[in-house]
Amino acid sequence: MNKLIRKIKDGTLTQVIKELKWIIQLGKKYVWAIVWYVLLGMLGIGVTLCSSVISKNIIDIVTGQQEGLIMFAAVTYIALQLAKIVLNAITGNVSARVQLKVNQQIRADIFGKIMHACWEPVMKFHSGDLLARSGRDADTVASSVLGWAPTFAVSFVQFVGTFVLILYYDATLALIALASAPITLLTSGFLMKKMRKHNQKMRIIGSELMSFHSESFNNVQAIKSFGVVDAYCKKLNEIQIKQKDVTLEYNKFSILTSSFLGTVAVIVTAITYFFCVFRLWKGHITYGEMTMFLHLAGVLSSAFSSLVGLVPTTITAATAAGRVMALTELPAENSEPLDEVEETLKSGSRAIHLKAENIEFSYIEGNTVLKQADMETEPGQIVALVGESGCGKTTMLRILLGIVEVQKGKVSIRDEKNNTVMPVSPSTRRLFSYVPQGNTLFSGTIAENLRIMKPDATDSELEEVLSAACALNFVKELPQGMYTHIGERGNGLSEGQVQRISIARALLSNAPILLFDEATSALDVKTEKQLLRNISKFRGERTCIVTTHRPSVLVACDRVYKISDESLKLLNENEIKEFIMES
């Protein structure tokens, strides 16, 4: 009782119960499949018990200790064995189907939760940890939906049915066969605590290893360029040593536990065997009954082991469920569709004003980035955000996209054509087309990358935006043109080529506002100037907001805002010239 009270106080038991309730709630969606699986298991138990009795009868008929038709008994026995094979096949098929369906549903749910979750909480997880939780942990939860409650029900019925059958023939033997139960039950509490501890360690080190691999493979070029390949190999070895220690510790615990329980089972089996031999020698049982007793004793032990084995299985499932729940409980963005956004997009309106008034923003775990900041854009303008690295330029674009939310002030979008005002939020994100910093191309063809923004775009439309982004010439020279397959993160293209394709992708969107985050940083000055001229013609009345360190971009801008000292300052012509000279 004291142990139970301690577990309640430290929250361990409460957390386990919460995790198991979540799994049960998940299983309710598949209740009929689970019921069907349990019924098939019950039929299998019935066939096993009937087979034991028929086997006893056959032996007793052959030895002359019982009268009966040997052929009928033999045919019945064979029929039952064939029925068992069919039931096992059906059960396996049902189990595979449900487990696959649950697995896919959990993975899809996790993926959707991550994609629709607020950006900052998601960023607390390493990408490798997200992969581990949405992969191995999701698989464990999925298998537990069909392997936990159904296994308990089937094993319990098997245990009770077998025990009653043995009890019917010999009460003393039934009690001997059950002798290992008290010992196993007494050790289950200790096993539960240890098993949860080991499971948590195993999954944490598994996530750490996956995170290391994910990050290393994504930065192979940088690791080679820095000349630190050997250092990373050494770091992997260190993580593997930690994994080995944790795994061997768990393995040692499992071996000791299995050895102890196995020893108890062997002792009980030996006692059962010699007791049956003694009863046969004294003439109290027949040869058939002895065979049946020995078989049923094994079935009883197996059923009880299955019930006890649910303890570590449950702990493993609960631990995995807790890790998956951490993702499914991430706060979601408020991304409900807005009629005003749909109206603006359908009307093709470009008369969009952006206004940030007295905004203040700081990240959850960081210093204040913006304070009492104001910014305004007019339709068709090119507006630049300049400032030192880390001053908050990219953060300002995240605010406009509704990826992060300001703590004070307001940011709004005004559509003059439709006479509507909308506060910036995830719902207004469709009014923006964004070219982020870094490489954001995906594996696939160039055409597939472009059509992310407009799936029904024609080849002519793709060529038009590629031409505007100064990318059409080099794309045509590729083996399959725009249908050339590129690797992950644009592998096979230069950084400048990747930037131009990213810009073309943004231009393909129907969004009235373009956001370019250092989008021309890898281009030479000549190409950059040509691209800016093309964009000015192509975008029409669309507003364009750029963050840049390059003074050449500022020449084409209608407004320039400088971010410094947590504020946004609109620069006049002299200040712009001064900034260009200093850059």
User: What single DSSP character describes residue 234?
Assistant: H
Domain presence at residue 6: no
CA torsion, ordered 81, 83, 89, 92, to nearest 10 deg: -90
Same domain flag for 224 and 317 = yes
Domain presence at residue 3: no
Inter-CA distances, 559 with 68, 385, 394, 511, Å: 103, 9, 17, 21
User: For the chain, percent helix, then strand, then coil, each to nearest 5?
Assistant: 65, 10, 20
Cβ pair 379, 557 in contact under 8 A: no
Q: Which amino acid is at 12?
A: T
Same domain flag for 408 and 264 = no
Same domain flag for 315 and 403 = no
Domain presence at residue 435: yes
Same domain flag for 318 and 346 = no
Per-residue pLDDT of the chain (583 residues; tens, 9 = 90+): 444 344 444 456 677 788 888 888 877 777 777 787 788 888 888 888 888 888 888 888 887 777 767 788 788 888 888 888 888 888 778 777 777 877 788 888 888 888 888 888 888 888 888 888 888 888 888 878 767 777 788 888 888 888 888 888 877 777 776 666 666 666 655 566 666 677 778 778 887 888 887 777 766 766 766 677 788 788 888 888 888 888 888 778 777 777 776 677 677 777 777 877 887 787 777 888 888 887 777 777 777 777 766 777 777 788 888 888 888 888 888 877 788 888 888 888 888 899 999 999 988 777 788 888 899 998 888 898 988 888 888 889 999 988 888 889 999 999 888 888 889 988 888 899 888 887 778 888 899 989 988 889 999 999 999 998 888 988 899 889 999 888 777 777 888 888 889 889 988 888 889 898 888 777 787 887 788 778 777 767 788 898 888 777 787 788 999 988 888 888 888 888 887 777 6
CA distance 211 to 207: 6
Same domain flag for 214 and 345 = no
Domain presence at residue 400: yes
Q: Which letter, b or e, does each residue of 469-499 get, where b requires 16 or more Cβ atoms within 10 Å of its Cβ?
A: bbbbeebeebeebbeeebeebbeebeebbbb
Same domain flag for 136 and 224 = yes
Residue reference for tokens 């697995």 = 103
- Angle formed by the axes of helices 180-218 and 287-328, nearest 10°: 40
Same domain flag for 194 and 318 = yes
Q: What is the DSSP string of 343-396?
A: HHHHHT---EEEEEEEEEEE-TTS-EEEEEEEEEE-TT-EEEEE-STTSSHHHH
Listed residue (205, 308, 213, 187) closest to 248, CA to CA: 205
Same domain flag for 322 and 364 = no
- The residues, any chain, with a CB within 8 Å of residue 223's CB and separated by 6 or more, are 216, 229, 232
CA distance 561 to 143: 55
- First and final C-alpha spacing in the chain: 72
The residue range of the domain holding 441 is 339-582
- Residue at a domain's end among 328, 360, 394: 328
